[in-house]
Amino acid sequence: MKIGIIGAGHIGGTLTRRLRALGHDVSIANSRGPQTLTALANETGAHAVTVTDAAKGKDLVIVTIPEKNIPALPKGLFGPAERDTAVVDTGNYYPRRDGRIAAIEDGTTESRWVSQQLGHPVIKAFNNIHAQHLMENGRPRGTPNRIALPIAGDDVKAKALVMKLVDELGFDPVDAGLLDESWRQQPGTPVYGTDLDAAGVKRALADAPPERPAGFRA
């Protein structure tokens, strides 16, 4: 697949390495420009590009930047030509880092807010696993106690594509419902950072309380 990754932090860098190792054509971008990504590009064979180029002509784009930086992305990043592009949001709202985002504080799920800012549907994935575990703990399908990852979203086709990719990376994909249900995998919920298997992820999603924990509110 042709994959664009916007954000070269812990998750973005890890996904660049893993997806290139699987043979995908990966373009990586950050807010500081492609010249700052030379080392990662040389290491992995990924293309260091601008944010705009990372979103254009791709089968899948992964947005993995702090919530506070989402509104600063170029307007119209996903235009009519990208209508069928699957977009993944890996982000989490951390008020101590992001400041107060009123819509999220008022109950809009993190990824619904991201989708509204981008003007494009998103799939919520890769937000509840530590980058090192994403890098090192993938296992073949059928391995006992294989780590599972929840995936939420409204677009059936895009969700299926992301679930297939999660499996390819070595994790069991678990359908976590529609995007407005993605609060079940936000920070502070039972599934967050826990490396559960598929059955455990399903239980954790079901057990998630709707109230955002105090430690993750502004």
pTM beyond 0.95: the answer is: yes
pLDDT score recorded for residue 88: 98
**Which pLDDT band holds residue 216 (cuts at 50, 70, 90)?**
very high
**Which pLDDT band holds residue 16 (cuts at 50, 70, 90)?**
very high
The dihedral built from the CA positions of residue 92, 109, 171 and 188, taken in this order, carries a sign that is: positive
Query: Which domains does the chain show, CATH number per domain?
Result: 2-216 (3.40.50.720)
Whether residue 200 contacts residue 190, with contact meaning beta carbons closer than 8 Å, is answered with: no
Q: What is the mean pLDDT of residues 27-34?
A: 97
Residue 151: alpha-carbon gap to chain centroid: 9
Give the pLDDT confidence of 62-101 residue by residue, as tens digits.
Answer: 999 999 999 999 999 999 999 999 999 999 999 999 999 9
% of the chain beyond a pLDDT of 90: 100
